[in-house]
Every structure is written in structure tokens, then in C-alpha cells.
């Protein structure tokens, strides 16, 4: 149930963050280079928004992957193992992603 709720709330957050991300970063389509990204991320508020976006997207993706994998009967007995692997992977990706956002 906890993972189901994580999936739901991160989905709602993503509807906001992803729409914002697409509109601000990807439209109108054009060449993306360091300078263009630097200009936006010069504002600490954008860094905070991107880190919150990272948390939502990792939560949603990893809890979704967990659900898809544990729906397979053969893997269902290892639910706890997959939950810990997901949490650990999420932490690593969060650290790497945050480091990336702060590097700009």
C-alpha cells in the first residue's frame, strides 16, 4: 500500500513538474547546449524545482519498475529484496542527479 501511494502522489507531482519541464526546456525545439541550461539554472529556484522533479521522477519510475517486476509470480517472493534494491538505486541516482543539477 505504501508503494502504491508513493506511485500515486509522485504521479500527481509529475503532472506538474513534467509539464513545466517540457514547456520550459524542450519547447520550442532547438539545440540545447551548456550555455542555454546555465542561463536557466543560474536561478536557485530552478535548481530547487529540478531537484524536486528528480525526487518525483525517481520515486515514480522505481516504484513503477518494482510493481512491474513483482507482478511476475516468480519474482513475487523476493518483494523485499526488490524494494531494497529499488531504494538503494534511487539513492544513488538521486545523489548523481543532484550533483549534476548543482554542477550547472
Partner 1 sequence: MYRSTGFIAFVLRRLTGVALVIYLLLHIWVIGGINSGAETFNDRMEFLGKPFFRLLEIGLLAAVVYHGVDGIRLLIGHYFQVTEYRRGLFYAVIVVSGILVIAGGVPILLFALEG
Summarize as ranges the residues that interact with partner 1 (CB under 8 A): 8, 11-12, 14-15, 18, 22, 27-34, 57, 61-62, 64-65, 68, 93, 96-97, 99-100, 103-104
Query: Minimum distance from CB of 87 to partner 1 (Å)?
Result: 16
Give the span between the Cα atoms of 77 and 44, in whole angstroms: 44
Nearer to partner 1, 23 or 77 (CB): 23
Most distant pair of Cα atoms in the chain: their distance = 49
Look-up of cell digits 525526487: 55
Burial level of 65, CB count in 10 A (0-12/13-18/19+)? middle
Give the span between the Cα atoms of 40 and 74, in whole angstroms: 46
Nearer to partner 1, 2 or 31 (CB): 31
Nearer to partner 1, 9 or 84 (CB): 9
Query: Minimum distance from CB of 28 to partner 1 (Å)?
Result: 6
Nearer to partner 1, 31 or 80 (CB): 31
Q: Could you tell me the three cell numbers for 53?
A: 522533479
Amino acid at each position: 500500500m505504501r508503494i502504491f501511494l508513493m506511485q500515486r502522489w509522485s504521479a500527481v507531482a509529475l503532472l506538474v513538474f513534467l509539464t513545466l519541464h517540457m514547456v520550459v526546456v524542450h519547447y520550442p525545439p532547438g539545440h540545447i547546449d551548456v550555455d542555454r541550461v546555465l542561463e536557466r539554472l543560474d536561478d536557485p529556484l530552478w535548481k530547487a524545482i529540478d531537484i524536486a522533479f528528480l525526487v518525483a521522477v525517481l520515486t515514480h519510475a522505481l516504484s513503477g519498475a518494482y510493481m512491474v517486476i513483482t507482478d511476475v509470480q516468480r519474482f513475487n517472493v523476493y518483494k523485499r529484496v526488490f524494494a531494497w534494491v529499488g531504494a538503494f538505486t534511487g539513492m544513488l541516482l538521486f545523489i548523481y542527479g543532484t550533483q549534476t543539477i548543482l554542477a550547472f
